[in-house]
Amino acid sequence: RWVHLIFGFCFSIYFGAITFNNDIDFWDDQPWVTMTMGTVILGIVFWTGIIKWQLPRIKKWNRKRKKKAASIE
């Protein structure tokens, strides 16, 4: 719970600064902020297992592609 709250707070500050200043380049002079946010987002995505939701679909696509390639040859 706390991880999500802290992440949400950081996310809100990051995009809030961009939104309320109407400046998409707000964080350009501090690239470590953008790099940190990118790393945190990827960490949350992998930690919560969101990527796993698509694995059955990806495996199905791969099976179909392999069957189609085998039937063509």
Domain ranges across the chain? 2-72
pTM metric for this prediction: 0.50
Smallest CA-to-CA distance from 17 within 1, 32, 33, 6 is with: 33
Q: Are 18 and 26 in contact (CB under 8 A)?
A: yes
pLDDT per residue over 5-55, tens digit each? 888 888 888 888 888 888 888 888 888 988 988 888 888 877 777 667 777
In this prediction, residue 68 carries a pLDDT of 92
